[in-house]
Structure 1
Amino acid sequence: MTRQRWQGWGPGEQAEQHYLVEPRTLAGGGDIRHVSEFLRASGWRDKSKTGGPLLLESPDRTVRIAYDPYVLPGGWTIHGTTDGRNGEWSAILGRQAPVEIVAGLTDALTRPRSAHAPNVWAPLQEQNWHTRFEGDHYTATSPDGSAWMQYRQSPGGEALWWTGARDTQGNGWSAQFTPNTPMHLVQTFAAELANPEPVMRPRGRVPHSDRIRTRSVSVQPSQLSAWQQARITAAHAATWARNSTRNTRPRTTARPHSPAGSARTRR
């Protein structure tokens, strides 16, 4: 059978085999550029050292994001300083946390905070996650039981968010958010955690798990490049719009007024 060429394929391009994987929570880490390139396009500074782990800093220097695959267990560390609204906070995510889910949190760091009160449980309940109390903990579990989101409180009053995914073989990842983590960030993370859409992984990068379902697709390199560029372009556009609004915002303080005819002091 002749493979049908998709409209828009470049001349001479060879299709590459990829897989659509679901649930996304067990799809493996993926390409970290999905996170890092969006942040760079949003004006974040790259503080990485040659040959070392990824390290990015927000434009206002209040948040740092690191990805270190060279240590065990390795993974993502996100640290925020006190900003007047929230105290110091951090999030630690395992290296097998899918980048699409990590981006639920990191993308939100580049956008203005919504005026609406965040509700972490809402996106989970919308996707029919099961919620229940377990002592001092409140837990939401995915319909297939492989992923969870839990608000935990110790007898001493210390609280944190604990989340992740596991298959029956013990493969998976977990993440923790300290109590001061801004709730709108935890909510956007939860929305991507519960997103029922599959994610794409190249051949050889699909985890061996009895809990995932895959569908083979043929993808051209130009298509992958176009999808990645669309995400970067969106980040550039949003950043430009924010900066333009900030630069054209009317002044809230009056300029000093010099009486007509008064002499100006030379410097």
Structure 2
Amino acid sequence: MRTSDDPSLYEEILVSPMYLAGSGSSGDAGFAPVSHWPHHYLDDGPCQLVVTSPDRRIQIGWFGDDFELWKITAAQEAVAPPHWTATFNHVTPPEIVAGLTTALAQDYAASDPYENNGRFLTNPSTYWADAVRPLTDAGWKQDGGAELGTVEIIAPDGQAGVLINNRRSGWDDETFTLWAGPRGWGTRAEATFTARTPSHLIAATAAVMASSAPVLRERHMIHHEVEHLVTLTPVAQAVTVAPAAEPSVSRAPTPLDVRRTAVTQAVHRAARAPRTAADLRVMAAQSRSSSAAQYRPGSLAPAAAARPSANSSTPRRSR
């Protein structure tokens, strides 16, 4: 059993499948696609940071201390009620959030803000399969035991899935829930989407869940109840076993290279910016890089088409 001062707790590891990697105590990956959008720091409220599109029709809120860590909305106008809402809980890997924020950034760049249009406001497909096609294409299968009026599609390892509630009664009802991990406050990742969320945005989020690419974490970030369900590869080992590059050929950056570059850039940003809650996370990262044995606290604080069933009213079940 490891103790809190065990240096191996802070060993950098590659985690697969990604959807069981947890949040990593940082939302950087989820905010990266919209890093050029306006940032609004709200240190006195439960929502600590809001990143908005330039016209504020898209809002990405970070609730650093709440169960629902992310709340993302889109509206016809900046002061209008949300057309749709997506939420991601505190266990959801920010790389999954980035699937949605990347698609939103692309949609907004192609929109005309003066016309109040944009693909991020289009109506969803009438076929639920369009929203989850990346999962079914990756071999996820429909579970025959789902409740009446719902559809559930499960990953091959049985540790993730999507629940589709076809018995909605209103536009603000949650109709799609992506989940991963065993039941429990600290182990179950959940992402929910309300009824009017465009299908391609759900699909963009699902596509990240279907990816086989591992993600970088520190060992202590993996919940002990999930550790036996994932493959953990120390970054140092991954770098050691990788074939050496020829001197005359430029090599692709290793995960360790990417990590070091990200920390260096974050430290430089912190030096130029006010000391916000986000900056405290950067300072912690800087101190961690100086000594692997030093205690490092958590930081701030994210298949063919089938027709929906027409007759339903059972609420969504939680796995």
Q: Does 1:121 align with 2:132?
A: yes
Which has the higher Rg, Structure 1 or Structure 2?
1
Shift of 1:125: 1.4
> Of 13, 19, 22, which residue of structure 2 is paired with 1:19?
13
Letter aligned with residue 167 of structure 2: S
> Of 55, 70, 73, which residue of structure 1 is paired with 2:50?
55
CA distance in 2, matches of 1:179, 1:143: 27
Closer, same or farther: CA 56–217 of 1 in aligned 2, 3 Å: same
Higher strand share: 1
Q: Does 1:145 align with 2:140?
A: no
Q: Tell me which residue corresponds to 1:36.
A: 31
Q: Does 1:88 align with 2:123?
A: no
Structure 1 segment 167-206 matched on structure 2, within 5 A = 167=182, 171-206=187-222
CA distance in 1, matches of 2:255, 2:196: 43
Task: Tell me the secondary structure at the aligned position of residue 201 of structure 2.
Answer: helix
Task: Tell me the secondary structure at the aligned position of residue 235 of structure 2.
Answer: strand
Task: Tell me the secondary structure at the aligned position of residue 196 of structure 1.
Answer: coil
Q: Does 1:217 align with 2:210?
A: no
Given that 2:235 and 2:256 are in contact with CA atoms closer than 8 Å, whether structure 1 keeps it comes out as no
Closer, same or farther: CA 211–107 of 1 in aligned 2, 3 Å: same
Closer, same or farther: CA 120–205 of 1 in aligned 2, 3 Å: same
The alignment of Structure 1 onto Structure 2 pairs a total of residues equal to 209
Closer, same or farther: CA 174–180 of 1 in aligned 2, 3 Å: same
Task: Tell me the secondary structure at the aligned position of residue 111 of structure 1.
Answer: helix
TM-score normalized by structure 2? 0.58
% identical equivalent positions: 26
CA displacement, residues 216-258 of structure 1 (integer Å, 9 cap, x when unaligned) = 112786532446899xxxxxxxxxxxxxxxxxxxxxxxxxxxx
CA distance in 1, matches of 2:72, 2:264: 25
Shift of 1:169: 6.7
CA distance in 1, matches of 2:261, 2:188: 30
Could you list the runs of 5+ residues in structure 1 that have no partner in the other structure? 1-15, 231-267
Q: Tell me which residue corresponds to 2:105.
A: 110
Higher helix share: 2
Given that 2:174 and 2:192 are in contact with CA atoms closer than 8 Å, whether structure 1 keeps it comes out as no
Shift of 1:183: 1.2
Task: Tell me the secondary structure at the aligned position of residue 41 of structure 2.
Answer: coil
Could you list the runs of 5+ residues in structure 2 that have no partner in the other structure? 1-9, 108-118, 237-253, 266-319
Letter aligned with residue 123 of structure 1: P
CA distance in 2, matches of 1:229, 1:127: 36
CA distance in 2, matches of 1:34, 1:146: 23
CA displacement, residues 151-191 of structure 1 (integer Å, 9 cap, x when unaligned) = 10237476611121122777222121000111111010010
TM-score normalized by structure 1? 0.68
Given that 1:168 and 1:211 are in contact with CA atoms closer than 8 Å, whether structure 2 keeps it comes out as no
